[in-house]
Amino acid sequence: MSYPAQKLYYDGKVQPATSGKTFKTIDPSTAKPFAEVHTASPADIDAAISSARKAFPSWSQTPPIARSRILLKAVELLRSRNDEIAKIETRDTGKPFSETSTVDVITGTDVLEYFANLVASGGLNGETTQLRPDAWIYTKKEALGVCAGIGAWNYPLQIALWKSAPCLAAGNCMVYKPSEVTPLHGQILAQIYAEAGIPPGVFNIVHGDGAVGGYLTSHPGIAKVSFTGQVSTGQKVAASAAGGMKYVTMELGGKSPLIILPDTDLESAVDGAMMANFFSTGQVCTNGTRVFVHKSMKAAFEKRLLEKMECVRALEPMDANSNFGPLVSEAHYKKVLSYIKHGVENDEAKLLYGGFSKPKKIPSGYENGFWVQPTVFTDCTDSMKITTEEIFGPVLCILTYDTVDEVVQRANNTKLGLAAGVFGKDLNKCHEIIGKLEAGITWVNTWGESPAEMSVGGWKLSGVGVENGRRGLNAWVRERSTLVEGSGVVGTVFAKL
């Protein structure tokens, strides 16, 4: 193996798993294993939770400004090691370095900086209400306790930061389980937090599959579960959390509509649709995979899209010119290919570009990796499998429409509600349409940007709660309300015979 074995991290130390079991992490660009990872046993998870419980009283009582100073030190360390960490993320996910070095580490670190600054500047303040001249109510925001974070594989470090940043800033401790497909960032992040001054037990990492995640999220020592993953897994995790009345945040899948109005500048329409489908090889939860193009624009849109498909460059992942990597794992590769095959053979959509054979120009030495072609289907209908199920790969489906009312109704005709977007010149029209779309994350004339300041979360089956923005902090606290009577007279009905 070309990379050191990854162990667990709890109580401020790298710890071997007691299960005696390990699994391998695979470089998706070559399909070669490159690191051994320790699988946590139930006893290891108990130990990680117990180290977090031990750390909680002191960390939650540390003044927010002091917690903030430590987290800002971690921000500095993450930024100083940006390229080194990005290289590791490229190895683990297969994403081009041009992407991991400019998006993954940066957008995760920005969120850490945002929440560190927010808690240092009154973000955890409560309210005071004067009830009567001599009676007051004050509310305080208090930390929840030990929280579980469960990450998906598409933005490994970014997801770990989006969860741990508000969690720790609010005074909680965390036990985090990365996806077993992309575990490498875990130990690095834990060590950076420790170097910044986070006390032992405040941030912990356990590794393993769904069974490890299941044991962690249903543990009675856990106060909250923040989960990112598929709807079906989220439903299981939320159901088991409900048994223990745990707080939950669920960031799940989508099948998001991108509506292109007839007055849209053609170049913007094509650029938006490509970013909404091919960035990160389509492995983005908010992807706009149902591209609704007005009938009058269809021919021009398809022509320009086909010309621009040549700008998708599947090169060696560390090549600065690469902007398209392989899919993350063999299982996911097979899943995406089966959708493309279904689109051709069963849905009978028209294949405009790509398909289920491997890309023609895979870089030499990378032939066994999990590469697929960026794929475009057109003449799609609303009932096809490729337009109704989340593929989570680089598959763009073009659907045409006549009227705004029709497209809004069709865009909303899904159980999912993660993201949606509108492209058009008339901003008032765009806002009006956005107001009718059933989705928690929406864009006008752009796609995909999700900065720290923007609260994001899905509607319908796509999730519960939000991450980021000011509202993102509230997901990590509970409120205590206290009524103080200052008159010296206790309100009672039992004072007289």
- Active site residue ranges: 251
Report how far residue 248's alpha carbon sits from residue 222's, in angstroms, rounded to the nearest whole number: 11
What are residue 140's DSSP bridge partners? 480
- The string of DSSP codes covering 30-56 is TTEEEEEEEPPPHHHHHHHHHHHHHHH
Task: Name the segment binding ligand NDP (CB under 6 A); options: 6-14, 186-194, 225-233, 381-389.
Answer: 225-233
Q: Which is nearer to ligand NDP, 150 or 422 (CB)?
A: 150
Encoding tokens for residue 83? Answer: 């390229």
| Region binding ligand NDP by CB under 6 A among candidate stretches 119-127, 173-181, 195-203, 296-304 | 173-181
Comparing CA positions, the residue from 283, 288, 298 lying closest to residue 350 is 298
**In the bound complex, what is the minimum distance in angstroms from residue 216's beta carbon to ligand NDP?**
7
Q: Smallest gap, in angstroms, from Cβ of residue 454 to ligand NDP?
A: 12
Q: Is 285 in the site for ligand NDP (CB under 6 A)?
A: yes
Nearer to ligand NDP, 62 or 388 (CB): 388
217 binds ligand NDP (CB under 6 A): yes
Give the shortest CB-191-to-ligand NDP separation in angstroms: 20
The binding track of 174-193 with respect to ligand NDP, each residue x by CB under 6 A or -, is: ---x-xxx------------
Structure tokens at 67: 């917690």
Q: Under DSSP, is residue 68 helix (H, G, I), strand (E, B) or coil?
A: helix
> Which burial class, exposed, middle or buried, applies to 19 when counting CB atoms under 10 A from its CB (0-12, 13-18, 19+)?
middle
Binding mask 59-98 for ligand NDP (x = CB under 6 A): ----------------------------------------
Report if residue 160 touches ligand NDP, rule: CB under 6 A.
Answer: no
Nearest distance in Å: CB 160, ligand NDP:
11
- Which H or E element spans position 275? helix 266-278
CA distance 462 to 76: 34
Smallest separation, CB 333 to ligand NDP (Å): 13
Q: Which stretch binds ligand NDP (CB under 6 A): 166-174, 245-253, 342-350, 468-476?
A: 245-253
Residues facing 235 on adjacent strands? none
Token pair belonging to 288: 């706009």
Cα-Cα-Cα-Cα dihedral of 447, 229, 232, 459, to 10°?
-40
Q: Is 319 exposed, middle or buried (0-12, 13-18, 19+ CB in 10 A)?
A: middle
Told to check if 149 binds ligand NDP by CB under 6 A, we report no
Interacting positions 195-214 with ligand NDP (CB under 6 A): 209-210, 213-214
Give the x/- contact pattern for ligand NDP in 392-431, rule: CB under 6 A: x-------------------------x-------------
In single-letter form, the type of residue at position 213 comes to G
Do the beta carbons of residue 89 and residue 109 sit within 8 Å?
Answer: no
The CB density around residue 36, as the number of other CB atoms within 10 Å, is 15
Q: Which residues pair with 399 in a beta bridge?
A: 292
How far apart CA 92 and CA 378 sit, in angstroms, is 33
Which of the ranges 4-12, 250-258, 307-315, 356-364 carries the binding residues for ligand NDP, by CB under 6 A?
Answer: 250-258
Count of residues touching ligand NDP (by CB under 6 A) = 30
| 440 interacts with ligand NDP by CB under 6 A | no
CA–CA distance, 159 with 10 (Å, rounded to integer) = 19
Phi/psi of residue 463, each to 5°?
A: 155, 180
Compute the least distance from the CB of residue 156 to ligand NDP, in Å.
10
- In whole angstroms, the minimum distance from the beta carbon of 402 to ligand NDP comes to 30
**In this chain, which stretch among 1-9, 84-92, 166-174, 246-254 interacts with ligand NDP, using CB under 6 A?**
246-254
Say whether residue 463 binds ligand NDP (CB under 6 A). Answer: yes
Q: Which residues bind ligand NDP (CB under 6 A)?
A: 150-154, 177, 179-181, 209-210, 213-214, 217, 228-230, 233, 236-237, 251-254, 285, 390, 392, 418, 458, 463
